[in-house]
Structure 1
């Protein structure tokens, strides 16, 4: 009896171990089927986006089959909410972002006719099964013989399950095109600052995650407010300025809505509506938040190889407001600042260091009227191209962010 029971127990134990191995194998297969796939060889912009998009949507389709997820039974549709693809360097949504979204929709329709893409809005939020997040990076190429030598664009995409916040599919692709259309859409083109904050950084990080990882909480938890801001941007693009203003104001009342993007929207919308005093108040709030996050990266555009601001009367009028508000902020605070000048990667290193220093010094002089102690509490520094973000040296819109002056908070004893 005991001997037979021992044999039976041994058999059951062996069967259990075999079953466990089968389950592990199936689990590994499921994970493998949704692993991020990188195209080693760079492709043209359109081909790279199609490759990444097709891979992404096929991963979702396989994931549904492996896990038995019956999505959209009531409607027969699987709803994907599309968060605008962001430029990882400038934190802007641009024309290349819109092109990615168009191709993504086309490739999704090829994979399944029940895949439906909707904009990121509050109305669509609860009904969406997934959120699609993306980022366009410009960084050193990491594959093949040219690894680390050349910088090029790379698209990273991720699909996040809305309820759990987990990444269920991801893909990326390198882009061989040296230039893409980085013209910002209106809501970003009119912004007075580059709006890179914790939410945007979280979006960029999430877009590069592998399946199974949890989306960055700074990004994922703020999606409802981001939905409202995306709607406001859409209204702004459509010239529905009063509607956009109402949405930006509503976002500012939300606990997680008091961010740079909100106040940039309030500034530019009020300005377009010729509510100039309200616009300046909004810019002051934007500067305060930038001060708290040590990110006051204003879009002060200079002429190529010049210390003069770009020859645009409208922009110069805005620059006067921006510099006045920044000066007043530091005048009433006890902090000190570094005025950091930068230049694009064209011309000699020595010339650009001098040019960027002259730009920073020119800005310091303009701010002195509203910040009388600026000579004692600030230091202009010329970085030349040492801290280029793009570094293409094209001297056009693509590397405009390299020709910038930004403000960095510093301990007064370290100036």
Structure 2
């Protein structure tokens, strides 16, 4: 171990320095703690380490933490996500596992509790984390890692740290649930999670997120069961979450639909998808992952993928006609090929979807328009045309004023 006399500026401060070492409970010597935020691009492992160390270093200054010398600070983690896609991916799993390993091995005073409902009452702190691409839609651009530690009792962000990582060798494939969902899960709850994770130290976490935190462990347990192909158990948990006061979330509605479909419960799956559509209409935007054969306007040839599409279109047409809303149907493509080619292709695909909807309800002829964005609004931008960038090949249904639809 480096002698204290070498880590302090002057030997006469050795006693004070030793006291700081004891309080830090894991921070070596009197060395300055890592910066809470840095824009320097670092290798992924180093960026995670710096962000984690910066987060915990801030807690050493909090009276509540210092009073617990000799004890352990309990933390629960709401699973970390990709802020752009609102997905849990192999990369966000890697981020979370490395943060946990760093916190529990370097800082022995931190205790990570499983993300369960009972532990929300036991834990004092809630840890959230996001990974955000600094140039959205541009593959391999740097990723900002944000970590926030929120005191559950007060709702205040006790610590926040960030670092920028180079995207070198990271796997951004979504976990099975996120690969399978028909509608991206970025709703008000997820947006609130992202805002909380970006909140500076000392400020209040986003209340919309914290007010709904009690149901989050149930949703996560259901999603873990779905990823493990335990669809019956997953459905039971999604239904339990959906029955709670704060359970009307896209994550839950998607989960009920997917689990029902996997179990062959066609009627229940169709009913669940109808609720997804109604939720989207109520929130004035619905994005659906329709996959097309490469370069064309024909839906993906594999029935396992495109088999439900006829039902999806039927439910979208019915719900939008019943609600008497007007929509702009917007096509998107992945980042493969020229700008002009993809602009035309996305327009053709939006036109095709509109024609299918009108076939289901002629009332939509005067209530819909269509447009194409090509790959200009990519969320992933990898151009891999696989599960990783499926969100880029979506069709959006934007609720607009009926004057705009008629124009």
- Aligned partners of 2:56 and 2:296: how far apart in 1? 48
Consecutive unaligned residues in structure 1, runs of 5 or more? 1-32, 142-147
- Which runs of structure 2 are paired with 1:37-76 in the superposition (5 Å)? 37-60=36-59, 62-64=60-62, 66-67=63-64, 69-71=66-68, 76=71
The equivalent of 1:229 in structure 2 is 219
Assess, with a 3 A threshold, how the Cα gap between structure 1 residues 400 and 344 changes in structure 2: closer, same or farther: same
CA distance in 2 between counterparts of 1:243 and 1:394 reads 33
SS in 1 for 2:345: helix
Aligned length: 372
Say if 1:133 and 1:157, in contact at 8 Å, map to a contact too: yes
1:276, distance to aligned residue in structure 2 (A) = 1.1
Worse overlay, 306-315 or 287-296:
306-315
Gapped regions of structure 2 (runs ≥ 5):
1-31
Counterpart pick for 1:113 among 103, 108, 121 = 108
The Cα of 1:375 is off from its aligned counterpart by 2.3
- Give yes or no for contact 1:252–1:258 (8 Å, CA) kept in 2: yes
Structure with larger Rg: 1
- Out of 238, 246, 271, the residue aligned to residue 228 of structure 2 is 238
Matched, 1:91 2:48: no
Counterpart position of 2:400: 410
**Conservation of the 8 A alpha-carbon contact between 1:72 and 1:78:** no
Structure 2 CA distance for partners of 1:217 and 1:331, relative to 1, 3 Å = same
Q: Which one is further off, 91-100 or 48-57?
A: 48-57
* Map of 2:203 onto structure 1: 213
Larger mean Cα displacement after TM superposition, 335-344 or 110-119: 110-119
Aligned twin of 1:198 = 188
Q: Could you give the per-residue CA deviations for residues 42-68 of structure 1, whole angstroms, max 9, x where no partner exists?
A: 1222222222122222322x134x555
Provide the C-alpha distance between the structure 2 equivalents of 1:185 and 1:168, rounded to a whole number of angstroms.
30
Aligned partner of 2:28 in structure 1 is none
Cα gap change, 1:394 to 1:317, in 2 (>3 Å): closer
1:178 Cα deviation from its structure 2 partner: 5.6
2:317 paired with 1:290: no
Distance in 2 between residues matched to 1:196 and 1:379, nearest whole Å? 24
Q: Secondary structure at the match of 1:310?
A: coil
| Cα shift readout 1:180-224 (whole Å, capped 9, x = no counterpart) | 322122222221110111111111111111110100011111110
State how 1:180-329 maps to structure 2 within 5 Å.
180-329=170-319
SS in 1 for 2:399: strand
Structure 2: how far apart are the matches of 1:228 and 1:249? 10
Q: Which residue does the alignment assign to 1:10? A: none
CA contact (8 A) 2:379 2:391 kept: yes
Distance change in 2, residues 1:286/1:381 (3 Å): same
Distance in 2 separating the partners of 1:267 and 1:140? 33
Task: State the distance in 2 between where 1:275 and 1:264 align.
Answer: 14
Q: Which moved more, 1:384-393 or 1:51-60?
A: 384-393
Quote the Cα distance in structure 1 between the aligned partners of 2:209 and 2:197.
Answer: 10
| Alignment check: 8 A CA contact 1:34 1:63 kept | no
Q: TM-score, normalised by structure 2?
A: 0.85
Q: TM-score, normalised by structure 1?
A: 0.83
Q: Distance in 1 between matches of 2:383 and 2:227?
A: 30
Measure, in 2, the Cα distance between the counterparts of 1:405 and 1:287.
Answer: 13
In structure 2, what is the Cα distance between the partners aligned to 1:158 and 1:232?
24
| Separation in structure 1 between the aligned mates of residue 202 and residue 397 of structure 2, nearest angstrom | 39
Question: Aligned Cα RMSD in Å?
Answer: 2.3
